[in-house]
């Protein structure tokens, strides 16, 4: 959890033109993703949905286009009986992906959203 607090987002984000920063930025972002997933899934395995939700939300605050984190957030909301929040998260995921990457969610994410609607 301390490592998550230390990560403040992409390395030198304001320096988008700095080609030398691309590889270190990617490594740091990958490490942050791994930590978010490990901590979040640990809480999930313990049934601590609200704590997992907080971890996933904090990860998305730093990388709003991480679909795997969005899916786990949606699952935690669903498992805690908050289907409306799960679907709102799906909609937010769609907006972030469209705005920042000009793409739609993956089939995996769409299928999860459909299963929540049918739940």
CA angle (100, 23, 42) in 5-degree steps: 70
Q: Please state, as a whole number, how many other Cβ atoms lie within 10 Å of the Cβ of residue 39.
A: 20
- Model pLDDT, residue 12: 44
Half-sphere exposure of 113 (CA within 13 A, CB side): 17
One pLDDT digit (tens) per residue for the chain, 119 residues: 565 555 555 544 545 566 656 666 677 778 888 999 999 999 999 999 999 999 999 999 888 999 999 999 999 999 999 999 999 999 999 999 999 999 999 999 999 999 999 97
Q: Is residue 63 within 8 Å of 29, Cβ to Cβ?
A: yes
Hunting for tokens 């984190």 — which residue is that? 69
Closest Cα to residue 89, out of 107, 63, 69?
A: 69
What is the pLDDT at residue 11?
A: 46
Structure tokens belonging to residue 17? 């033109």
pTM of the complete model: 0.82
């Amino acid at each position: 959890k301390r490592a998550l607090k230390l990560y403040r987002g992409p390395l030198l984000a304001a320096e988008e033109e700095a080609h030398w920063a691309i590889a270190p930025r990617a490594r740091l972002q990958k490490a942050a993703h791994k930590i978010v997933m490990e901590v979040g899934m640990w809480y999930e395995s313990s049934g601590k949905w609200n704590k997992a939700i907080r971890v996933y939300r904090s990860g998305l605050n730093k990388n709003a286009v991480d679909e795997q984190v969005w899916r786990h957030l949606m699952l935690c909301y669903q498992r805690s009986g908050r289907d409306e929040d799960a679907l709102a998260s799906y909609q937010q995921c769609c907006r972030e992906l469209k705005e920042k990457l000009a793409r739609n969610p993956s089939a995996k994410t769409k299928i999860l959203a459909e299963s929540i609607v049918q739940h």
